[in-house]
Amino acid sequence: MQTDHAAAELLGLDTTGLLAFFATLPAPSIEEMDGEYAARLLAQPNLLASVTGRGTVSNPLAPWLCKAFRPVDGQTGRGYNTFRQFGRVRQRYAMHTLIAPSRYDGRPAYTLVYRAYTSMCGAINMVDEVRRAAPGVYLGIGTWGFTTRQRRVPLPFLLTGPVGAYRGDIGTARRGFTPGPRELPGPKKAAQ
């Protein structure tokens, strides 16, 4: 019941409240994030973000189902998103995961770096930060953009689970990629 209550609490907050709550939460460990986690958007910061978010992840032709993760070692992991397309579950948008300082408060966050792999999400510099709200309930803050200002717009989402097993790695790694300040800017004062 704690899981349902925590998820309902997140669904009732606006973006400002979600960011304030995010600042109080701990990062899950690399080992904790293992499996598929049901995903959904939370309150978005503005009309453009709401329309864009609904168009990309709430599209009835290919709805967003989950994010999935697996530890690679004690420091990093891998992951992907799944969508339902024409009745089949499809894996998309591979990511590299690590614990890194949040761009919002500098405290540790489970961080998803899409640019480590070749995909549309990597091309738009998408990075997600995740923290644990309750056992099995995670608050995520997504970002994307080509400028520092664009990459500071918070796009909150909810993860619950795990609800299934990790299906297997996907994606083509970018050769020689190392996350830099665009992906891991730390707190505001360090943003570039």
Here the tokens at position 69 are 């993760």
Here the tokens at position 169 are 């790695």
Domain 2-164 sits in CATH at 2.40.128.580
Residue 25's alpha-carbon distances to 16, 69, 75, in angstroms, are: 15, 20, 20
pLDDT digits (tens, 9 = 90+) for 150-190: 898 999 999 999 999 999 999 999 999 999 998 998 875 44
Q: Cβ distance 151 to 180 under 8 Å?
A: no
Residue count (the chain): 192
- Read off the pLDDT band of 15 (50, 70, 90): very high
Residues 77 and 32: their CA atoms lie apart, in Å, by 11
pLDDT digits (tens, 9 = 90+) for 34-73: 999 999 999 887 777 777 777 677 777 789 999 999 999 9
What residues does each domain of the chain span?
A: 2-164
